[in-house]
Amino acid sequence: MEQQLLIYNTLTRSKALFKPLHAPHVGMYVCGPTVYGDAHLGHARPAITFDIVFRYLTHLGYKVRYVRNITDVGHLEHDADEGEDKIAKKARLEQLEPMEVVQYYLGRYHKAMEALNVLPPSIEPHASGHIMEQIKLVQEILDNGYAYENQGSVYFDVAKYNQDHRYGKLSGRNLDDVMNTTRELDGQHEKRNPADFALWKCAQPEHIMRWPSPWSDGFPGWHCECTAMGRKYLGNHFDIHGGGMDLVFPHHECEIAQSVASQGDDMVHYWMHNNMITINGTKMGKSLGNFITLDEFFGGTHPLLSQAYTPMTIRFFILQAHYRSTVDFSNEALQASQKGLERLMEATVKLKELQPAEVSTISIGEIRQKCYDAMNDDFNTPIVISHLFDACRIINTVADKKASLCAQDLDELKGVFSLFMNDILGLKQETGSNDEREVAFGKVVDMLLEQRMKAKAAKDWATSDKIRDELTALGFEIKDTKDGFSWRLNK
Ligand SMILES: [Zn+2]
């Protein structure tokens, strides 16, 4: 059956039927990380949320071009036009080139995403690789009269823009609110209005990341990159722009203003935002200093953690809430997720072992369509999970021989688990910790050496030598001892 997908659009504050501009193609742009530190739980949420969108749209048959950028320049501290560039600051503190900082943390970010089974996007453009496109965008806004230059910096003229268009339509703010909440900051004397934001900043002499432009040697304002790169890879109009709710203002509001000021209209059809992860009710964030990194979760090494949590537990924990609801971190909540996920994983194993009966004595219901209905209702993953738990109860009842299922129903359940649990929710069986793997590999070496002892006892020297030589070639040091053998890996 053709699925009717509803997506909540932050701009209209309502759900609307998803109609791509150029089906079967779908363009999706998601704001990626500023790579100056290890990814934390707050980073996992947008990555997993839009991974679900990417997986589901792909499953529905769309050809999705998913662009997730890497912010490696222009993101100043405090997210406003003040302070030091976040990456340049880290580079200065660690005496590295800014791009060394970027390379290091980007590699670690990719590793963490892979552990969470987040699929890589189609394109991962870097802001620093798209300075030309950003300069062009700034020039267009200047040419259209919605920006002005002062002392080598270029600022967006919010008041002028607001006369012709509406600044604040995404966040629901009006210009007075914005002006009343804008603090007196560095560089404010260069602005005509405190609500104006930087499109290009003239670099101070000590600023290391700088590029030539028609206005000064400097760097682009943070909001420019997404407008410029979204347009470059997805065109003047594309389907979905996503990110965390904390980006609605100012980042995405400024992106809309830049887009309208440069090309006359907004590029984006559906604005999607995931809610935040909180600790005791406050947002988790690096700039807030109350974050737990993903590596700390995987290793259980943060003082707030009572144990280690596997990547799949973290993924399941996040998917147990709808993406527009907040998720509050606690050990109890994570432990409950861990148990829930174990129950589901055990059920999939049992499911494979169940023998079909002539007839089913228990109904599996319309489980497939129920899962689709939940996904079609703005990606309602907690409801999908509750349907999988219902199926889990049926599987356990059948495994306990209190009911039976026919071959067709068993196949249907297997298909539903494989589609929704593995392909769409992206949950997979974890293969144990590294330690467990090493123990398993060690047992394989023991097994081989026992075969060698048997060969020696049977005076089958060819086999005995072959096992020893091949293990030696792989780097194993093998010794014959009084009671048999010992070995170690020289690597
Ligand atoms: Zn962005």
Tens digits of pLDDT across the chain (491 residues): 589 999 999 999 999 999 999 999 999 999 999 888 899 999 999 999 999 999 999 999 999 999 999 999 877 765 556 677 888 888 888 888 889 999 999 999 999 999 999 999 999 999 999 999 999 999 999 999 999 999 999 999 999 999 999 999 999 998 887 777 665 555 678 899 989 999 999 998 888 889 999 999 999 999 999 999 999 999 999 999 999 999 999 999 999 999 999 999 999 999 999 999 998 778 877 767 788 999 999 999 998 999 999 999 999 999 999 999 999 999 999 999 999 999 999 999 999 999 999 999 999 999 999 999 999 999 999 999 999 999 999 999 999 999 999 999 999 999 999 999 999 999 998 875 545 666 778 888 889 999 999 999 999 999 999 999 999 988 888 888 777 887 877 75
Amino acid at 285: G
CA of 87 to the centre of ligand 1 (A): 16
CB 225 within 8 A of CB 211: no
The predicted pLDDT at position 352 comes to 92
Contacts with 291 (C-beta within 8 Å, 6 or more apart), sequence order = 40, 41, 42, 284, 285
- The residue assigned the tokens 């400097």 is 218
CB 413 within 8 A of CB 364: yes
Which residue matches tokens 């147990």?
320
Region class of 268: left (phi > 0), else alpha (psi between -120 and 50), else beta: beta
Q: How far apart are the CA of 128 and the centre of ligand 1, in A?
A: 14
The CA 88 to ligand 1 mean position distance, Å, reads 19
Q: 34 C-alpha to center of ligand 1: Å? A: 10
What pLDDT sits at residue 403?
A: 96
Q: Report the separation in Å between the CA atom of 31 and the middle of ligand 1, taken as the mean of its atom positions.
A: 4
What are the domain boundaries of the chain? 6-274, 282-424, 434-489
| pLDDT for the residue 185 | 55
What distance in angstroms lies between residue 404's CA and the mean position of ligand 1's atoms? 52
* 8, β-bridge pairs: 15
Instruction: Determine the distance separating the centroid of ligand 1 and the alpha carbon of 127, expressed in angstroms.
Output: 10
pLDDT for the residue numbered 187: 60
Output the CA 32–ligand 1 centroid distance in Å: 7
Amino acid at 132: M
Structure tokens of 252? 């995405």
> Could you give the 3-state DSSP secondary structure of residue 436?
helix
Q: How far is the CA of 331 from the centre of ligand 1 (A)?
A: 31
**29: alpha, beta or left? (left if phi > 0; alpha if psi -120 to 50):** beta
Confirm if 38 and 297 have CB atoms less than 8 A apart.
no
Residue 102 C-beta-side C-alpha neighbours within 13 Å: 22
Ion ligand 1: residue ranges with CB closer than 5 A: 31, 226
Tell me how far the alpha carbon of residue 270 lies from the centroid of ligand 1, in angstroms. Answer: 15
Spatial neighbors of 339 by CB under 8 A, at least 6 apart, are: none
- Choosing among 2.60.40, 1.10.3470, 1.10.287, 1.10.730, the CATH entry for 282-424 is 1.10.730
Distance 137 CA to ligand 1 centre (A): 15
Q: What is the CA radius of gyration of the chain?
A: 28
Q: What CATH fold (topology level) applies to the domain 6-274?
A: Rossmann fold (3.40.50)
Q: Is 416 helix (H, G, I), strand (E, B) or coil?
A: helix
466 three-class SS: helix
Q: Name the amino acid, one letter, at 361.
A: T
Instruction: Give the full edge-to-edge strand order of the sheet including 63-68.
Output: 63-68, 25-30, 238-244, 268-274
Query: In angstroms, what is the span from residue 229 Cα to ligand 1's centroid?
Result: 9
Distance CA 430, CA 408 (A): 28
DSSP SS3 for 235: coil
CA of 302 to the centre of ligand 1 (A): 30
Q: What distance in angstroms lies between residue 246's CA and the mean position of ligand 1's atoms?
A: 11
d(CA 398, CA 355): 9
235 CB-near residues (< 8 Å, 6+ apart)? 27, 267
Distance 326 CA to ligand 1 centre (A): 21
CA of 487 to the centre of ligand 1 (A): 54
